């Protein structure tokens, strides 16, 4: 009787700080990285997720198993390079089957220096994250399957975490620039805004391209400034509105320099202000509220959010590990949206000025388009203030 062939040797290992080990098949780049581990429940948009600057310092576990099946293409990048530290998937990526595909996920990750592991029990991993909180992990990929397990666990335990860390400085633009590209539409693809519009200053804490496209599609003439921009930098451009973008890290750390700028702009002008994700948290801090770290955060394209002022429920895209503590909102600031998953804050506004923000992502990249109206509301507020 012939012996059964030996099972293939694992070529990747995910080590949690508590000593738990997950073995699988590596793809993408080789090497080792450490980060916080989160899970994302979206069924589409893995390329947009990996290039979302809000994932800096994190490895993403995808709960949907079919990752890589549509390949990748340059049009779907949300920033120049992947920002997430790595990815964890259930099944190995298959050969892509999509007319827009220009490259396989494996080749794209390899070229961009990002490590991935397949063949992992992502349901078990997701349950662990929900029950224990987002763990610190080390992810290694070695084609020969040689791993120092004790060293990997030690590396995971040595990761400092995201609390108290300002990551916006690492992902923001180096200098200001103009933006006029609008949302993708069939059959033209991306087009340029050619008509004049409201001059908007967008602060880049880690801005996704599709957010800027949504601003342009809503009729905005967008100038992007780095996260460290001062109130003088903003007001010197004489904007009709101020936009605060998404981004990674601890909002309290970024707020050290961002909050004084926002407060000064609010004191010196009456222009509408609109914030998303980290920008929402920056505005809340500037108005006097506090933020706290969540157990495992919200990451996905299927999160129900209720507008408490209208009763409308929207399905939204989310990506955040910190939240605004609604109990600390000061007088004159009203909670406008809440998560129907856990009741956490998802939106605020000043009661007497066109200043508001939301925790979720209304740009739908990836995700539903239920909340695009927020960009149009921003444009109308600038119309009214003109």
What is the Cα–Cα distance from 315 to 346, expressed in whole angstroms?
A: 12
What is the Cα–Cα distance from 117 to 61, expressed in whole angstroms?
A: 10
Handedness of CA 246, 259, 224, 167 (dihedral sign): negative
Q: What does the angle CA 117 – CA 74 – CA 50 come to, to the nearest 5 degrees? A: 35
- Alpha helices, DSSP H only, in the chain? 46-50, 105-112, 122-132, 149-158, 168-171, 209-217, 231-235, 251-268, 278-287, 373-385
What is the Cα–Cα distance from 375 to 142, expressed in whole angstroms?
A: 45
What is the Cα–Cα distance from 149 to 115, expressed in whole angstroms?
A: 17
Under the phi-then-psi rule, with left for phi > 0, alpha for psi from -120 to 50, and beta for the rest, what region is 2?
beta
- CB-facing half-sphere around the CA of 352: CA atoms within 13 A: 3
Q: Quick one: which of 174, 150, 170, 156 has its CA closest to 86?
A: 156
- Of the residues 198, 277, 299, 303, which is catalytic? 277
Residue with tokens 């957010």: 211
Tokens of 319: 């990506």
What is the Cα–Cα distance from 240 to 271, expressed in whole angstroms?
A: 6
Residue pair 168/195 in contact (Cβ under 8 Å)? The answer is no
What is the Cα–Cα distance from 334 to 355, expressed in whole angstroms?
A: 11
Q: Quick one: which of 308, 368, 378, 312 has its CA closest to 338?
A: 308
* 277 assigned to active site: yes
Q: How many CB atoms lie within 10 A of CB 369?
A: 16
Catalytic residues: 277, 361, 363
């Amino acid at each position: 009787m012939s012996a059964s062939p030996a099972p293939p040797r694992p070529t990747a290992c995910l080590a949690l700080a508590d000593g738990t080990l997950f073995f699988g098949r590596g793809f993408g780049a080789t090497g080792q990285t450490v980060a916080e581990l989160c899970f994302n429940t979206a069924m589409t948009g893995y390329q947009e997720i990996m290039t979302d600057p809000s994932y800096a310092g994190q490895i993403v576990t995808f709960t949907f198993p079919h990752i890589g099946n549509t390949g990748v293409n340059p049009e779907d990048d949300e920033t120049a390079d992947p920002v997430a530290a790595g990815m964890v998937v259930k099944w190995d990526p298959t050969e892509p089957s999509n007319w827009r595909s220009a490259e396989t996920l494996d080749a794209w990750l390899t070229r961009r220096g990002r490590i991935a592991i397949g063949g992992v029990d992502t349901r078990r991993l997701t349950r662990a994250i929900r029950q224990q909180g987002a763990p610190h992990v080390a992810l290694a990929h070695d084609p020969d399957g040689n791993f120092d397990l004790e060293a990997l666990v030690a590396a995971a335990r040595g990761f400092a975490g995201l609390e108290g860390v300002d990551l916006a400085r690492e992902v923001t633009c180096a200098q200001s620039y103009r933006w006029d590209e609008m949302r993708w539409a069939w059959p033209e693809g991306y087009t340029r805004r050619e008509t004049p519009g409201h001059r908007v200053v967008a602060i880049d804490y880690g801005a996704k391209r599709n957010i800027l496209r949504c601003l342009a599609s809503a009729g905005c003439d967008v100038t992007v400034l780095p996260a460290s921009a001062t109130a003088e930098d903003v007001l010197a451009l004489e904007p009709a509105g101020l936009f605060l973008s998404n981004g990674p890290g601890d909002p309290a750390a970024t707020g050290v320099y961002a909050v004084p700028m926002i407060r000064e702009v609010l004191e010196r002008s009456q222009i509408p202000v609109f914030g998303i994700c980290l920008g929402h948290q920056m505005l809340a801090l500037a108005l006097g509220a506090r933020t706290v770290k969540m157990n495992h955060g919200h990451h996905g394209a299927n999160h129900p959010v209720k507008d408490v002022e209208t009763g409308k429920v929207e399905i939204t895209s989310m990506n955040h590990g910190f939240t605004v503590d609604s109990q600390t909102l000061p007088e004159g600031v009203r909670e406008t949206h809440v998560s129907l998953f856990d009741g956490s804050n998802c939106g605020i506004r000043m009661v007497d000025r066109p200043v508001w923000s939301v925790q979720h992502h209304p740009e739908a990249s990836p995700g539903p388009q239920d909340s695009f109206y927020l960009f149009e509301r921003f444009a109308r507020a600038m119309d009214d203030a003109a």
